[in-house]
Amino acid sequence: MMPGGPRDWTTTFDIVVPTTGRPSLRALLACLTDAGARRITVVDDRVEGGRLRVPAGVELLRSGGRGPASARNVGWRAGGPSRWVAFLDDDIRVGPDWGERLVEDLAVLGPTAGASQGRVRVALPTQRRPTDWERNVAALQRARWITADLCVRRAALVSVGGFDERFPRAYREDADLALRLMDAGWTLTRGARAVEHPVGHAGPWVSVAKQAGNADDVVMDALHGRGWRERAGAPRGRLRTHLATTALGATAIGAALAGRPRAAGALAAGWGLATGELAWRRIAPGPRTRREVATMAATSAVLPAAASLHHLRGRARARSVEREPSLAPRPARRPAAVLLDRDGTLVVDVPYNADPERVVPVPGARGALDRLRASGVLLAVVTNQSGIGRGLMSADDVAAVNERVEALLGPLGPWLVCPHDPDAGCACRKPRPGLVLEAASRLGVAPDRCAVARGVLVPNERTRAEEIVAAPEVAGDLDEAVDMLIGAP
């Protein structure tokens, strides 16, 4: 067997960038246009606003402001059939060789590798100590499975349904995906490529706003159990201390209202000590400028209460989250991959065709394939080309014809070709299973998740009557076959 396709498909990738319209997007896209991606998709996740300007060749979609999980789902489901999907944040910076380094990372992965994370570098100031916010951003360098640069196998995304849209903000939706991938049997790796993550500007109350993530942590408890932090490499933080500090402050106020000044004073002193300890913990490693000290003092006074309130909100949300379906389910009827014949299914059958100019698509083939790509289903082509074994054409002739097919119909994933004469007794000539098994292996899916195993037959003028009778399912054309596989539009 030989690929016979236009290029090595095992490391092909799409790029998906969700954005809220940050100015940094333009510089990122300028670096990505030569990265070697088959498709670059920007998903505008603003509720409203002017249309973004993107370079030629970059697709622009909208997700309606439903959050980064939804935006990423919109992006990867619109792409395909590249084997991998690289998710990038819109505020990172990539070098001119990022695409090459990504391909190198992907080339060494085995069939069970579900994702490869790039390394994140945060440049901190060298002439002074970093501020609290700068240290917060720098922690991304130690984080696991964050989507600043996370490349996921498309088959893995299909198998778990993509990102769970019950996570509405850029927090924990990446850890949730990683845990579900591991639960589904995929392995996650860290590549050698690297991106830069600027610190960016943030207001003085950013640390208080970030406490909203405590609600998502409770949802993670409900979905993955209390041990999810160890599996995801997520530090526990100071929630217990924040809850105790908040309790001291609340009971101090209650005691004062109840006319118990001594108790109120003692409780208030305890709250003050806890708040001071938190403030100093944040001030000590920083630059200790007047502005930084004032900001840390003010935010430390309200930060524990904010964390506690969001935690309580998360607990109320978690009571029902296990009963709610994920907003990114995998359709039950949809296969993981569709394996297509070339001649008579994708293009008009020309026996022993060695001339790319004679390639004519079957009517409706492009629309049917676009529907499959948009659904997130993986594609591959499995085709018998005995003309090679019979000496009627060369392997290069077949590859040239295959290139023409993709030029007319779009990317089709890996090409698996049997070049042998029918009398050779090989294991790859259809209807023997060799090509199907090889295609399933290269796609990273089980053979029984491939549509060819389900046996949807699209007859043509050369299909024998007994083949039609024997087929478990028969479609009138390729578009009808797609209806049967993924449901009517």
Q: Assess contact for 439 and 337: CB atoms under 8 A.
A: yes
Pick from 186, 183, 188, 111: which is nearest to 143 by CA? Answer: 188
Rounded CA gap, 128 and 221, in Å? 39
Q: Assess contact for 437 and 111: CB atoms under 8 A.
A: no
91 tagged catalytic: no
Q: Report the SS3 class of residue 18.
A: strand
Marked catalytic residue, from 14, 91, 164, 343: 343
Radius of gyration of the chain, Cα coordinates, nearest whole angstrom: 28
149 tagged catalytic: no
Q: Assess contact for 117 and 46: CB atoms under 8 A.
A: no
Rounded CA gap, 372 and 236, in Å? 42
Q: Assess contact for 417 and 3: CB atoms under 8 A.
A: yes
- Specify the DSSP element, H or E, that contains 438: helix 434-443
Give me 312's structure tokens.
């309580």
For residue 99, which amino acid is it?
G
Neighbouring C-beta atoms of residue 261, cutoff 10 Å = 11
Helices (H) and strands (E) in the chain, counts: 19, 12
Give me 304's structure tokens.
């524990």
Rounded CA gap, 327 and 349, in Å? 42
Marked catalytic residue, from 149, 176, 216, 341: 341
Q: First vs last Cα of the chain: how many Å apart?
A: 36
Locate the DSSP E strands across 135-186.
149-153
Pick from 226, 357, 241: which is nearest to 307 by CA? Answer: 241
Locate the DSSP E strands across 143-267.
149-153, 187-196
Contacts of 266 (CB under 8 A, 6+ apart): none
Rounded CA gap, 99 and 208, in Å? 37
Q: Assess contact for 342 and 406: CB atoms under 8 A.
A: no
Residue indicated by tokens 């997520």: 234
Write out the catalytic residue numbers.
341, 343
